[in-house]
Structure 1
Amino acid sequence: MKKFLIVAALAICSFANAQKGTVLVGGSIGYASETRTLGNTEIKDNEFNFSPKVGYQFHDNWTVGGEASFGSSKTKQGTNEDRFNTTKVGAFLRYTIPLNPTFAFFAEFGAGFQSEKDKTYTGPITTTAKGDGMYVGLTPALFIDMKKGFGLNFNIGGLGYSTINYDNNGPEYKNFDFNFGRTFNIGVSKNF
């Protein structure tokens, strides 16, 4: 509760907004770990994600830039192990509506290329699957200006579509995702 009050106080005392001609640098980092038991077998899951972003604010309300995302996950069940790596590289366009000197609402449209690599170790046998595709997403979010252009970004989901086609006549996946209220993300950004 103390941390929330400190964040709220900093947000109320701040009066800086991003301006035309500034550079936006931001991103997010995530890590999750879970251990569970299925029968007599222990299953361990680890996941890491890093998503940097750089943009140029060419108008008081408009920002354009590049985004990337790098993810890695590993599931270990007994002697079997599955490693999954993802990479996304694309561009984004953001429209921001200042609500007051501290808070702003923005909607961000992003699109780009994505690739996946899945390695499965089953005893002495290793199988590898590779695929690539595209992604498109629209995410509404809230920006809280903490001090001098440094801020926090909050969103609770968005709308997205992606495809992945695996090599060697592998499967093709198409995914439409409407996840408002099912996810919660926090990011950090700074305008220079």
Structure 2
Amino acid sequence: MAKGLTPSGRPQRIDRGIMQTVFIPKGQWMAGGTVSYSEHEENNLNFLVIKDVEGLGYTFNVSPYVGYFFRDNMAAGIRAGYNRTYLDLGNFNLNLGEDFNINLKDLYYLEHEYEVSGFLRTYMPIGRSKIFGLFNEVRLTYAYATGKNSTGSGTEYDGTFERTHSFQIGIAPGMSAFITDWSAVEVSVGVMGYSFKWQKQTTNQIETGSRRTSSGNFKINLFSINIGMTFYL
């Protein structure tokens, strides 16, 4: 008899000794959220071919969510989100040689994005621990954003308004650590998956333009780590 086969010739199931431990029991509710904020300011910055950068900007994100455990270690729920991005770039010089120089002044950009997503989250304890566990969240997200970007000032002002619809299917793995019997701190990486985006622009209330993009990203970005708090009721 071949190795790994039953007497009937069928493949033999291997017992790997993995224990099915309950980390979050069926019937519990979960509620929580993540908040992030980053800010930058440049004053006469010079870096390699980038010269005389003057700028100020920030990014703010808040994302509350709620879910219900319909099975042990498995929950379904809904998540909402708001993102605000702001950039005011007073000066930017790109020097690539005597015959190629780019100078930009008075650039302004502001975007508001609102999103809603449904998710399915599964948990797995680390060993037999009741405190530390891993989770993976599958998300289906729709987002709507409005933005404004402009160049110049005074009579040379040029403004463009933009509306964006986007759709995303992705996963977000992470780790959970309980600090009390009913609350836990969570750390997760940015969403990986497929995204589709449709944009429509109007410049000076006259000219219009559009763009459609799609992309797939399955790389873990260590600079997009989110820290949040979850309560279990």
TM-score by length of 2: 0.70
Match of 1:10 in 2: none
Question: What letter is aligned with 2:118?
Answer: A
Match of 1:35 in 2: 41
Greater Rg, structure 1 or structure 2? 2
From 211, 218, 225, the counterpart of 1:178: 218
- Any conservation in 1 of the 2:24–2:123 contact (CA below 8 Å)? no
- Any conservation in 1 of the 2:69–2:76 contact (CA below 8 Å)? yes
Of stretches 159-168 and 41-50 in structure 1, the one that deviates more from structure 2 is: 159-168
- Any conservation in 2 of the 1:158–1:179 contact (CA below 8 Å)? no
Deviation for aligned residue 1:169:
4.7
SS of match in other structure, 2:130: coil
Of stretches 53-62 and 17-26 in structure 1, the one that deviates more from structure 2 is: 17-26
From 180, 186, 209, the counterpart of 1:153: 186
Please show how residues 1-192 of structure 1 align to structure 2 within 5 Å.
18-36=24-42, 37=44, 39-78=51-90, 79-99=106-126, 100-122=129-151, 123=153, 124-167=157-200, 169-182=209-222, 183-192=224-233
Q: CA separation in 1, counterparts of 2:53 and 2:134?
A: 47
Q: CA separation in 1, counterparts of 2:164 and 2:189?
A: 28
SS of match in other structure, 2:71: coil
Question: What letter is aligned with 2:175?
Answer: L
Alignment length (residue pairs): 176
Q: CA separation in 1, counterparts of 2:73 and 2:57?
A: 41
Question: What letter is aligned with 2:62?
Answer: F
SS of match in other structure, 2:184: strand
The Cα RMSD (Å) is 1.8
1:145-182, CA deviations, whole angstroms, 9 ceiling, x for partnerless residues?
Answer: 11022111112445221111112551112121223253
1:71-113, CA deviations, whole angstroms, 9 ceiling, x for partnerless residues?
Answer: 0011001243110222221100001112311011111100021
Q: Gapped runs of 5+ residues in structure 1?
A: 1-16
Change (3 A) 1:178 1:41: same
Q: Gapped runs of 5+ residues in structure 2?
A: 1-22, 46-50, 91-105, 201-207
- Any conservation in 2 of the 1:115–1:164 contact (CA below 8 Å)? no
Higher RCO (CA 8 Å, separation ≥ 6 residues)? 1
Q: CA separation in 1, counterparts of 2:191 and 2:162?
A: 29
Match of 1:14 in 2: none
The percent identity for this pair of structures is 23
Question: What letter is aligned with 1:87?
Answer: Y
Q: CA separation in 2, counterparts of 1:71 and 1:157?
A: 14
